[in-house]
Amino acid sequence: MISIKDVEHVALLARLTLTEDEKQIYSKQLSDILEHVHKLQDLNTDGIQPTAHVLPLKNVFREDRVGEHMPVDQVLANAPDRQDKFFKVPKIV
Amino acid sequence: MAQYEAVIGLEVHVELKTNTKIFCHSGTEFGADPNHHVCPVCLGLPGVLPVVNKKVVEHAIKAGLALNCQIAAFSKFDRKNYYYPDLPKNYQISQYDLPIAEHGCLEINVNGADKRIGITRVHMEEDAGKLVHQGTISTTPYSLVDYNRTGVPLIEIVSEPDMRSADEAVAYLEKLKAIIQYTGVSDCKMQEGSLRCDANISVRPVGQAELGTKAEIKNMNSFKALHKAVSYEIERQIEVLEDGEKVVQETRTWDEAQGETLSMRSKEEAHDYRYFPDPDLAPMVIARDWVEEIRAGLPELPDERRERFVSAYSLPEYDATVLTGTRELADYYEQCVELYNNPKLVSNWVMGDLARMMNISGQEIKNVRISPAQLAKMLELLDNGTISGKIAKTVFEEMFNTGKDPGQVIEEKELVQISDAGLIDKVVVEVIAANPKSVEDYRAGKEKAIGFLVGQVMKLTKGKANPGLVNELLKIKLDK
Amino acid sequence: MQLHYLTAHQLHDMLVSKQISAEELTRAVFDRIEQVEEKIRAYVTLTQERALNYARLVDKARLAGEALPLMAGIPVAIKDNMCTKGVRTTCASKILYNYIPPYNATVIERLNEARTVMVGKTNLDEFAMGSSCENSAFFTTCNPWDTNRVPGGSSGGSAAAVAAGETILALGSDTGGSIRQPASFCGVVGMKPTYGAVSRYGLVAYASSLDQIGPFARDVTDCAMLLNVICGHDPLDSTSVPYDVPDYTAFLTGDVKGVKIGVPREYMGEGIDPAVKEVIKKAIDVYTGLGVVVEETTLPHTEYALPAYYLIAPAEASSNLARYDGVRYGYRAKDAGDLVDMFMQTRSEGFGAEVKRRIMLGTYALSAGYYDAYYNKALKVRTLIKTDFDRAFEQFDLLLGPTAPVTSFKRGEKVDDPLQMYMVDICTLAVNLAGIPAISIPAGIVDNLPVGLQLIGRPFGEGDILRAAHAFEQNTDYHCKLPE
């Protein structure tokens, strides 16, 4: 069961603001989904290795060679706000 | 008042010296225009993927070996999730449960006592960008973001909580810096941020096994700051306990101007980084022969070199320690000794006049204009009597300032020592004639008076007369 | 003759023999778009000028006698979650409504090298999260077979565009069935290649360990041809596999005698529409008639695929979608006081309900205290699911079943019940968890709606899948059926 308080905590971690209605809905929906997901607990997975990658790939490296950088105007082309050669953001605190 | 003991552990971030960033081909040079070393990958654009720079792994293994660590056979990258505008993806690619190196140590010496400090782990991660504020972070109306440093490779070196004083913390960091610099994987420049240090500090009554509540101290930008901040924080925590209160577990920042640590209040909830294996990066299986190859390429490290300096050059411990403090200084010294085989004399000059001049001018050894060969040449000229010890100091200063050869300096300034007995004798006669009182004193048994007469001869020869010869000739004349 | 309903291999012959020009073909496709797009709404962005310029360059090169790649001049639609340099790439999200990438995804580079002509960017469920295209922030795409019904998702725009003749070929991405399920709903061929066969560089990530780009086509031959273009190692993607890409059209021999196909009983059990089951049974008969050995088999952990998927995918998504914060690109909320407010408002206003739901779910699954119970547990179950397939492939060359448990459903039917919507993917999810390839091909019509047949193969067994799919196609005519 995902309480309203859980929903608020997770929303803050995920940087989402929710309305009271949304909190109610997510509390219900996430609880339903997690109840379904809870089925996994039936399975005994002792001694089973987790699969983070399906591929047997390892040691994928690149050489330490400099490539092209982007012109600064291109870097900033999609910026919602900028000043000179910087991205501009509201005050931190 | 109860006796307290401090428990200190350091987390040190070292920027690795590579051409490109850890996960993309953007350059890493310090001091570029804002947002210059930026590509789609380090800007975290939608759809981009990281690819590991092999050099970073190699450097991290090298650092791990130099710090006596075990190198992991299997290692991987994880995502550390948190939101901050200097972090383009709002997660940092780091290493969580399988770091590249673990279980190392290094030796420090404080007040003559040796101590081993454990190193918990060394892991690789990407650096964040830079925020530029007008004024301070709390008064600025907005902030500007520069992503040049984003993705620059770092290793984080975490120590065991083995230090008990600010002196030990500084000694540890100095030693760590020397070792890392020796390996060549980083410049370790604190002022450019390529070496950064956070400290975890707690205090407890002596005899108590259980650790006290710790505070994490950030923003110490020099060895001096580290010493001051750690000392301050220990005192602060003892006072808190003495007042019957509890130390709060928190992050505090060192305020250099005020000379105190300040609580970093934040409206953020307790950290929950939600680490998980980065699905964009394949794991690393570190072959033992690769590790051995890197080990074979390790240079001689500070401790070994210090011991060798003591045994091979018969230097005192103190000299050997100072000379091996950085790889550059030790290299300089050895190059000099190779050309002029009087290790103790070279040590005296390097630790004396050279260190003094470097200190005055704020230069580092690699920028010094006197080459080891030039210093060796100067010492030879001193040895063969071309210049006197006193003149040598003048010559040395001129060489330091201009980078000229000693021969050239001596010639230009006409500083060749006068060892022609005939020439000196003339001056001696002159001086004896001009100073009857001193001559009288000497002959009356005041042997010290000869010093004045020697000085007069030197003065008239502009310091160039061979002092031994002057002494000798004066004595002959006076004792007649 | 309607050019827009021909296949790429037919059109290739006409282009090479100069019966038509690439420009004419491109115009025919855009004429068709003009005619039906109002009803279908497959595209978020159309790139007509650019397409005509590309087509003219191909014509010019052909006239000059230049050797051209096989696919030169063939129109291709791109799902709007693949980055196209200079062309808006939105992921059907408000948060990227104005985003113009400065670089091309590797697949786009490959399509450009192959001299194909991009028609436009197709609609999808926001950030590829959904099974009906109803989660697009802009509009819902309609199924060309019945415009009251959904085209499936998340690559619904690409599937509908191919089905409606609004392009010849298309690319989609498949994280839990997002190519195969809409292909099934729209009566076209759709394939999810082996994880690592196609570069993900430039594909806007939803769930990185599951996402894979793949083709949509009108028949298996076209599918093989497009696969030839997009497969292959890419040094920009660390999870891209270095392997020798075969010519996939070489597998289309028609000969499947002696091939062993397993039918997992879990794919033919409860929850599968009986009419869909009937279609699959008939398909089995077709194969048996071709000398294929078809036997029942089992994938015992199938029921755990959905719960495992809905922990792994949202967990990865919660991290992948953290970068949309209004600092560097995309939407930024107005008048936010400080930075945290700006982040929170931007994301709350910029993301739709399903995206937020999955971000919340994934954040929860990774958060302190739950990692082992949820995320790590799901990764272990993933191992079991993969092992199921490994075992099955010791005995069989291919596995067969329905692509989706149902045919296309009505718009609005499942939007309020996320779990019901997730159930639509029960036959496709496990394939992504195991990283193996699978195709959906038209196998029948039920109540005037297409039904897809899913063939699943071994890792890098795309050739075997295509061979069997092609043989089926040679002996049926479902792939020729057109929506009215």
The secondary structure of C262-306 as a DSSP string is: EEEGGGGSTTS-HHHHHHHHHHHHHHHHTT-EEEEE--TTGGGHH
Give yes or no for a contact between B272 and B236, defined as CB atoms under 8 angstroms apart. no
d(CA C451, CA C449): 7
Q: Pick the catalytic residue: C21, C132, C173, C178?
A: C178
C-beta atoms of A52 and C379 within 8 A = yes
Q: Which residues pair with B220 in a beta bridge?
A: B197
For residue A16, give the nearest of C238, C344, C373 by CB distance.
C344
Contacts of B262 (CB under 8 A, 6+ apart): B252, B253, B255
Provide the shortest C-alpha distance from residue A76 to chain B (in Å): 9
Distances in whole angstroms, Cα of residue B49 to Cα of each of A66, B44, C320, C398, C481: 17, 9, 11, 32, 40
C-beta atoms of A58 and B283 within 8 A = yes
C-beta atoms of A39 and C307 within 8 A = yes
C-beta atoms of A93 and B143 within 8 A = no
Residues of C in contact with A18 (CB under 8 A): 348, 356
Provide the shortest C-alpha distance from residue B147 to chain A (in Å): 9
A80 in reach of chain C (CB within 8 A)? yes
Provide the shortest C-alpha distance from residue B131 to chain A (in Å): 9
C-beta atoms of B85 and C239 within 8 A = no
Total count of domains within chain C? 1
Residues of B in contact with C327 (CB under 8 A): 85, 88, 145
Distances in whole angstroms, Cα of residue B266 to Cα of each of B240, B250, B259: 22, 10, 21
d(CA B78, CA A12): 22
Residue contacts between A and C (CB atoms, under 8 Å): 161
DSSP class of residue A38? G
Provide the shortest C-alpha distance from residue A54 to chain C (in Å): 6
Neighbours of chain C (3+ CB pairs under 8 A): A, B
A8 in reach of chain C (CB within 8 A)? no
Residues of C in contact with A37 (CB under 8 A): 307, 310-311, 374
C389 in any annotated domain: no
Q: Pick the catalytic residue: C93, C131, C132, C154?
A: C154
Q: B459 is in which domain, residue-wise?
A: 421-478
Residues of C in contact with A28 (CB under 8 A): none
Provide the shortest C-alpha distance from residue A63 to chain B (in Å): 6
B298 in reach of chain A (CB within 8 A)? no
C68 in any annotated domain: yes
Same-domain pairing of B332 and B280: no
Higher pLDDT, B451 or C381: C381
Which of residues 14 through 73 in chain A touch C, CB cutoff 8 A? 14-18, 22, 26, 29-30, 32-34, 36-41, 43, 45, 48-55, 57, 60, 62, 70
Same-domain pairing of B281 and B332: no
Residue whose C-alpha is closest to residue B20's, from B55, B45, B46, B63: B55
Which of residues 8 through 37 in chain A touch B, CB cutoff 8 A? 9, 12-13, 15
Provide the shortest C-alpha distance from residue B28 to chain A (in Å): 9
Band (pLDDT 50/70/90 cuts) for residue B338 is very high
Same-domain pairing of B34 and B151: yes
User: Which residues in chain C come in under a pLDDT of 70?
Assistant: 1
d(CA B396, CA B406): 8
Domains along chain A? 1-43 (1.10.20.60)
b/e code A10-31 from CB counts within 10 Å (16+ = b): bbbbbbbbbeeebbebbbebbe
C427 in any annotated domain: no
Token code pair at residue C192: 């999810």
- pLDDT tens, B168-187? 999 999 999 999 999 999 99
Provide the shortest C-alpha distance from residue A76 to chain C (in Å): 7
Residues of B in contact with A59 (CB under 8 A): 282, 284-285
> Checking DSSP bridges between strand C169-174 and strand C75-79, what pairing results, if any?
parallel
Q: Of B390, B412, B434, which marks where a domain is finished?
A: B412
Total count of domains within chain B? 3
C298 in any annotated domain: no
C-beta atoms of B137 and A92 within 8 A = yes
Whether C377 is catalytic? no
d(CA A70, CA A62): 20
Same-domain pairing of B67 and B136: yes
For residue A10, give the nearest of C303, C363, C377 by CB distance.
C363
| Optimal mutation site among A12, A16, A58, A59, interface C, most CBs of chain C within 10 A | A16
State residue B393 phi and psi, 5-degree precision: -65, -40
C69 in any annotated domain: yes
Q: C22 is in which domain, residue-wise?
A: 3-256+400-412+437-480
Residues of A in contact with B279 (CB under 8 A): 52-53
Q: Crossing angle of helices B166-183/B223-242, nearest 10°?
A: 150
Which residue shows structure tokens 């979608």? C321
Q: How many CB atoms lie within 10 A of CB C305?
A: 27
Same-domain pairing of B455 and B370: no
C27 in any annotated domain: yes
Looking at residue C449, which CATH number applies to its domain?
3.90.1300.10
C92 in any annotated domain: yes
- pLDDT tens, A12-24? 999 999 999 999 9
Q: Of B412, B437, B455, which marks where a domain is finished?
A: B412
DSSP class of residue C344? H
Whether C79 is catalytic? yes
Same-domain pairing of B285 and B313: no
Maximum C-alpha span of chain C: 70
- pLDDT tens, B201-212? 999 999 899 999
For residue C336, give the nearest of A52, A77, A90 by CB distance.
A90
C-beta atoms of C204 and B46 within 8 A = yes
Give the pLDDT score at C1: 60
Same-domain pairing of B76 and B182: yes
Distances in whole angstroms, Cα of residue C168 to Cα of each of B418, C3, C122: 99, 9, 13
Residues of A in contact with B43 (CB under 8 A): 70, 75
For residue A54, give the nearest of C359, C377, C435 by CB distance.
C435
Same-domain pairing of B345 and B400: yes
Band (pLDDT 50/70/90 cuts) for residue B388 is confident
Instruction: Give the per-residue SS3 of chain B.
Output: CCCEEEEEEEEEEEECCCCECCCCCCECCCCCCCCCCCCCCCCCCCCCCCCEEHHHHHHHHHHHHHCCCEECCEECCEEEECCCCCCCCCEEEECCCCCCEEEEEEEEEECCEEEEEEEEEEEEEECCCEEEECCCCCCCCEEEEECCCCCCEEEEEEECCCECCHHHHHHHHHHHHHHHHHHCCCCCCCCCCCEEEEEEEEEEECCCCCCCCCEEEEEECCHHHHHHHHHHHHHHHHHHHHCCCCCCCEEEEEECCCCEEEECCCCCCCCCCCCEECCCCCCEECCHHHHHHHHHCCCCCHHHHHHHHHHHHCCCHHHHHHHCCCHHHHHHHHHHHHHCCCHHHHHHHHHHHHHHHHHHHCCCHHHCCCCHHHHHHHHHHHHCCCCCHHHHHHHHHHHHHHCCCHHHHHHHCCCCCECCHHHHHHHHHHHHHHCHHHHHHHHCCCCCHHHHHHHHHHHHCCCCECHHHHHHHHHHHHCC
Band (pLDDT 50/70/90 cuts) for residue B267 is very low
User: Where does C291-419 show beta strands of DSSP type E?
Assistant: 293-297, 398-402
Q: How many CB atoms lie within 10 A of CB B297?
A: 12
| Optimal mutation site among A4, A6, A33, interface C, most CBs of chain C within 10 A | A33
C-beta atoms of C380 and A37 within 8 A = no
b/e code C83-118 from CB counts within 10 Å (16+ = b): bbeebbbbbbbbbbbebbbbbbbbbbbbbeebbbbb
Same-domain pairing of B359 and B264: no
C428 in any annotated domain: no
Provide the shortest C-alpha distance from residue C323 to chain B (in Å): 4
Whether C155 is catalytic? no
| Residue C348 buriedness (CB in 10 A; 0-12 / 13-18 / 19+) | middle
Q: How many CB atoms lie within 10 A of CB C75?
A: 28
CA angle A36, A39, A45 (to 5 degrees): 145
Residues of C in contact with B275 (CB under 8 A): 366, 371
> Checking DSSP bridges between strand B70-71 and strand B101-110, what pairing results, if any?
antiparallel
Q: Pick the catalytic residue: C79, C121, C192, C414?
A: C79
Give the pLDDT score at B270: 59
| Residue A79 buriedness (CB in 10 A; 0-12 / 13-18 / 19+) | buried
Q: Of B228, B262, B292, which marks where a domain is finished?
A: B292
Same-domain pairing of B168 and B266: yes
Neighbours of chain B (3+ CB pairs under 8 A): A, C
The secondary structure of C200-254 as a DSSP string is: -TTBPPSSTTT-EEEEEESSHHHHHHHHHHHBS--TT-TT--------GGGG--S
| Optimal mutation site among C80, C342, C366, interface B, most CBs of chain B within 10 A | C366
Residues of B in contact with C195 (CB under 8 A): none
Same-domain pairing of B250 and B317: no
Neighbours of chain A (3+ CB pairs under 8 A): B, C
Same-domain pairing of B305 and B277: no
